[in-house]
Amino acid sequence: MNINMNTIIKGIAALSLAAFAAGCTKNFEDYNTNKHQATEEQMATDDNLFGAFFQQIERSVIIYRDGKYLDSDYQIMYNLAAETYCGYMAPTLGAVPSTGNFYDKDGWTRSMYVNKFTYGMNAWLLLDETAKEAGLSHIVALGNVLKIATMHQVTDYQGPMPYSQVGKTLTPDYDSQESIYRSFLAELDEAISTLEAFESANPGAAIMPDFDIVYGGNVAKWIRFANSLRLRLAMRCVYADEALAQAEAEKSLASAYGVITDNADNAVVSGVEHHPLYEINVNFNDADTQMNADMDCYLNGYDDPRTFKIAKAASDGKFHGVRNGLTTTVWDVYKNKAGKVSAPNATIYNITWINAAEVYFLRAEGALRGWSMGGTAKDLYEEGIRTSFSEWGATGADSYVANSTAKPAAFVDNSGQNNGTSAPSAITIAWNDNDSFETSLERLMTQKWIAMFPNGCEAWAEYRRTGYPKLLRVVSNMSNGVVDDDLQIRRVPFPISEYSTNPSGVAAGVAALGGLDNSGTKLWWDQKPR
């Protein structure tokens, strides 16, 4: 199915007419009230008029279908892309070449772009239009926070994308990633200010509580989420524009509402029966991915107490992973049912957009760089680990953070196919203030990578940004020289359909990319010297 901006805009137009035909309250702009203070009438109409649009954007941040055989979109958007590229998962579906071999499959890689625009931006445009018509700035602000939460994944996958012209033309130009990120940060600044003013004027008031599947309408929690999102995106820019990154990061910590500091404030989607990885590994094609060898090396080497929360044991009671880039014809030994390798323990996974542990590690990196992050790099790093242990229900955090000897293990291929290799790194766990910046950064990013599991979008972006954790080379690189063995895949190409449906727009994207439209070209924020 070819999805293009023509289709999206036509759908938006039709839905807009339906929404307004249902009866939109008029002339809110004439109310002589504090623009940040909602009247009883306005609060009463929020749910009915905007709730469906709002929840559709929420369900688009990490797309899921929540039912047997219905999570194929998640599979090709995340599981066979970012979760593979970041070293969390390894494809074992029997297809060669696959994304594990750095082979571009447009039918898979285009899915992020198609789904995010079809579901996410479509719903946001409708929400934004109707909320502005009603004069409800707090709804507009919250919608913008959600838009950024979902659409930053698209630009982090491919770089330039349509943004500033979406909804204004059928064939929008692609904006440069730099301009998109600057827009994200400016929009978050404005949204946070608006939500803070709304909360001040309406203490304890909830926004669309019957539709909000993350925070139940709790405005203070949404402000902390928005600050944490701003911190994440600010750090993403650090090698492209450090001054911008520091200024935006410090704004988040200076906010009266602060950032997420407790697992109770994690952005977790409620009411989900199973994480999509459960469906993929129980109901799809006899399990299409298994735990990656990189996870094997780090979790086994550190004797990490979170291991069997994250993964299922093989028949020997141990954790065994699978390397990316297999070319074998003997696939059965790479299925968990054969007892040789470990599958994700997805029964207990949550769909989590951002957790407190990630925020502590972001702050630790900022402190390592000399920024004002409300604590030392060491203290924030250790709190990130402890918070992750608590989230997973694991014990032994204090002894873990003090461990100065454990190192990642060499990979032993338990399948018997002889794909073993040496350890990817020798980084230890315990913080040492005397270590170099790069050693400290590797240590921090390695623990952050473990703590963010299974959020592959963030793990892959952070691996590209920093080079950490160090990952194993794929067994067989089938990119025809496009992807460097050591740097690994840097982005996914633009959808092929865009070259026929929006040729001028995608041409602007290629120009803004500054390189060839392939998997080896770096994104704007990917500027750390290697």
Q: What structural domains does the chain harbor?
A: 5-27+38-261 (1.25.40.390), 290-466 (1.25.40.390)
Contact present, 309 and 392 (Cβ < 8 Å): yes
- For 183, other C-beta atoms within 10 Å of its C-beta total 14
Taking the C-alpha atoms of residue 252 and residue 229, their distance in angstroms, rounded to an integer, is: 9
Model confidence pLDDT, tens digit, residues 15-28: 433 333 333 333 33
The list of the chain residues with pLDDT below 50 reads: 1-40, 42-44
Do residues 421 and 472 touch, judged by C-beta distance below 8 A? Answer: yes
Nearest to residue 231, comparing CAs of 250, 206, 256? 250
Distances (CA, A) of 452 to 88, 116, 357: 10, 22, 8
Residue that the structure tokens 């309406």 belong to:
202
Contact indicator for 131, 22 with CB cutoff of 8 Å: no
Query: In this predicted structure, what is the pLDDT of residue 172?
Result: 95
- pLDDT for position 45: 54
Write down the pLDDT at residue 72. Answer: 87
Euclidean distance between CA atoms 125 and 120, whole angstroms: 9
| Cα–Cα distance for residue pair 12/7, rounded to 1 Å | 9
Q: Dihedral of CA 276/278/284/288: which sign?
A: positive
Per residue in 418-438, pLDDT (tens digit) is 999 999 999 999 999 999 999
The confidence score (pLDDT) of residue 11 equals 43
Contact 143, 124 (CB under 8 A): yes
Contact 77, 112 (CB under 8 A): yes
Please tell me the distance from the alpha carbon of residue 366 to that of residue 65, in angstroms, as a whole number. Answer: 36
pTM: 0.92
